[in-house]
Amino acid sequence: MANFKIVLSDPRSGRSTVYEVKDRQAAAFVGLKINDVVSGAILGVDGDIRITGGSDRAGFPMRPDIPGGIKKYALLTKSVGLKDARPGERRRKLVRGNTITEDIYQINAVLIQKGEPKVEESKKDVG
């Protein structure tokens, strides 16, 4: 069965917490994609969790623009998967797709709502 380390960042406090999920908890994450929103009850936190990325067991990063859970060579400029690129430089690098599979080791996520109701902006009529 799948085992994941989930790095959950809280933008309000600026802190990150690492959760290790196994078996049934991990099965809830298999098949999700980058930018999917999940209930925080899976990890026992208040609020929702948005998946922002991750990496597989060999350290290859997940990219949101590559569909599926496959590894693929992609031509990259300075972004996820290629840090040190000179202006105009492109390199072909091996990266992982945007879907969480059992080969993923670490999942990066952000806490987007923490137990408080969403405040909707009031719309003003212009006229």
What confidence tens digit (pLDDT) does each residue in 69-95 have? 899 999 988 888 888 888 988 999 999
How does the average pLDDT of the chain come out, rounded?
A: 86
* CB neighbour list of residue 115: distance below 8 Å, 6 or more residues apart: 46, 47
Can you list the residues of the chain whose pLDDT is less than 70? Answer: 114-127
Q: Please state the pTM of the whole predicted model.
A: 0.81
- What's the rounded Cα separation, in Å, for the pair 83 and 95? 13
